Amino acid sequence: MVNESVYNELMKKYRAHYGRDPEVIAYAPGRIEVLGNHTDYNEGFVFSAAINYGTFFAASKSASKACRLVAGDLMKEVAFDVTGIEASKTDTWQNYVKGTLAGLAGVKAVPCGFDGLFLGNIPLGSGLSSSAALEMCTGLALGKLYGITVDDVTLAKIGQKAEHMYAGCKCGLLDQISSLAGQAGRLVKTDFRTVAYETVEMGEAACFLMCNTHAKHALVDGAYNTRREACEQAAAHFAKELRHPVTALRDVSMAEWAIYKRGLSDTVANRAAHPIGEDERVLKGAELLAKGDLPGFGLLMFDSHESSRVLFENSCEELDAVVDAAKKIPGVLGARLSGGGFGGSVVVLVHPRDAETASIALANAYAAKFGKPCDVSVIKPAAGAHIVK
């Protein structure tokens, strides 16, 4: 079992706190974004992976409408009623659980409360999506407890709605889908037009380093919105210029971009080239993985970062420094910023035998430039969310 020690700790804490064994237990992992940056809202493609860090949620039915919920890492308890699920301003971790419960209750009436406890080992707020993991293990555990069956995409949307309505984060669906669909040694390839996904073999010769710079640049929301607007403006332009239907940048190829970009400002044209190029890189990446060509896949990751840096301008000094350092480290196959950009993390593709030395080299190179090291975690594509008991 992945994360067996966390599971054992969860059981110990559940028994100590509630004086019995839980009726159900579910597990959900965090995720990394591997290739396909800012493609989701352009209805394009993303490569992601579920990771070998995750969260367990254990629960039993309670005798009334009352719910007790314990954050096992903090050993803090909150209480609320299933008949009045509202977001809370304190102990905000409960909002991910409440939002997910509210989503399930929207599918079928919840008959009673629960005694719940969750515990995990995903670093919080570091771009590995501990929040989606919490929603997905909650959804699976409480769905099982109450006999509410939903398919994966519905559960992912319940988690997304919990983020929007209860946690105040306007996220897409990538985090939840990746947590649900991941498999050991495989990447998840999602088509964000149809929300259809498949997994693709990555093999034993690959793992990732997630390098969190903790950099957070001002105006992140503003910059995100202007990027989105530029993509929409470009899509409207190509819809007029091209003969085939264009409802999003997904429908435009790089070749078409080069011919029909005239009439767009240089900035808007460059912004559009990023998700268009990313879509092509994801599709190319799938072909390379099918042939077992990891070095080729790594080069696409470097290209992706270059496109972020030059065309989309969602990189920053800290992220560029990690990618530049990665290029010089033996055994590193690829590196790019992961997630929205303007700070945050870099994902690095490396052979598992080089992971340890590359981690140290990256942290040192970062410290030499910025005075303190970036945090590096070794990540393996691992099993997706599932019921444990």
Residue 345 site contact among Mg ion, ligand ADP, none (CB < 5 to 8 Å, cut-off depends on kind): none
Residues forming beta bridges with residue 81, ordered by sequence position: 66
Integer Cα distance of 341 and 251 in angstroms:
24
The full DSSP string for 80-123 is EETT-----SSSTTHHHHHHHHHHHHHHS---S-EEEEEEE-SP
x-or-dash string of contact with ligand ADP, 158-177, rule CB under 6 A: -----------x--------
The full DSSP string for 293-331 is -HHHHHHHHHHHHHHIIIII----HHHHHHHHHHHTSTT
Minimum gap (Å) between residue 13 Cβ and ligand ADP? 12
How many other β-carbons are positioned within 10 Å of the β-carbon of residue 170?
Answer: 10
Minimum gap (Å) between residue 169 Cβ and Mg ion? 6
Label residue 3 left, alpha or beta by phi (over 0 means left) and psi (-120 to 50 means alpha).
left
Give the residue from 203, 198, 185 showing the smallest Cα distance to 50. 185
- For the segment 319-348, give every residue that binds ligand ADP (CB under 6 A): none
Of the listed 40, 152, 175, 303, which one is catalytic?
Answer: 175
Q: How many CA atoms lie within 13 A of 312 on its CB side?
A: 31
Minimum gap (Å) between residue 125 Cβ and ligand ADP? 4
127 binds ligand ADP (CB under 6 A): yes
Stretch that binds ligand ADP, among 120-128, 151-159, 209-217, 366-374 (CB under 6 A): 120-128
Helix (H) or strand (E) holding 164: none
Residue 93 site contact among Mg ion, ligand ADP, none (CB < 5 to 8 Å, cut-off depends on kind): ligand ADP
Q: What is the distance of C-alpha 349 from the center of its chain?
A: 17
Residues forming beta bridges with residue 56, ordered by sequence position: 27, 119
Q: Strands 66-71, 114-120: parallel, antiparallel or unpaired by DSSP?
A: parallel
Minimum gap (Å) between residue 91 Cβ and ligand ADP? 8
CA distances 112 to 7, 15, 68, 76, 199, Å, are 25, 21, 12, 22, 37
- For the segment 130-149, give every residue that binds ligand ADP (CB under 6 A): 130-131, 134
Stretch that binds ligand ADP, among 45-53, 123-131, 140-148, 308-316 (CB under 6 A): 123-131
Among 52, 100, 129, 377, binds ligand ADP (CB under 6 A): 129
Minimum gap (Å) between residue 243 Cβ and Mg ion? 41
Among 106, 111, 125, 330, binds ligand ADP (CB under 6 A): 125
Choice between 65 and 68, CB closer to ligand ADP: 68
* Shortest-Cβ-distance residue relative to Mg ion: 131
Q: Which strands make up the sheet holding 332-338, listed edge to edge?
A: 332-338, 343-350, 207-216, 375-379
179 binds ligand ADP (CB under 6 A): no
Choice between 29 and 285, CB closer to ligand ADP: 29
CB 381 within 8 A of CB 54: no
Integer Cα distance of 346 and 106 in angstroms:
38
Write out the residues near Mg ion by the rule CB under 5 A: 129, 131
209 binds ligand ADP (CB under 6 A): no
x-or-dash string of contact with ligand ADP, 53-92, rule CB under 6 A: --x---------------x-x------------------x
What is the residue type of 95? N
- For the segment 264-323, give every residue that binds ligand ADP (CB under 6 A): none
Choice between 124 and 219, CB closer to ligand ADP: 124
Residues in contact with ligand ADP, counted by CB under 6 A, come to a total of 17
191 catalytic per annotation: no
178 binds ligand ADP (CB under 6 A): no
Residue 73 site contact among Mg ion, ligand ADP, none (CB < 5 to 8 Å, cut-off depends on kind): ligand ADP
CB 57 within 8 A of CB 6: no
* Residues near ligand ADP (CB under 6 A): 55, 71, 73, 92-93, 96, 118, 120, 124-125, 127-131, 134, 169
Please identify every residue annotated as catalytic. Answer: 175
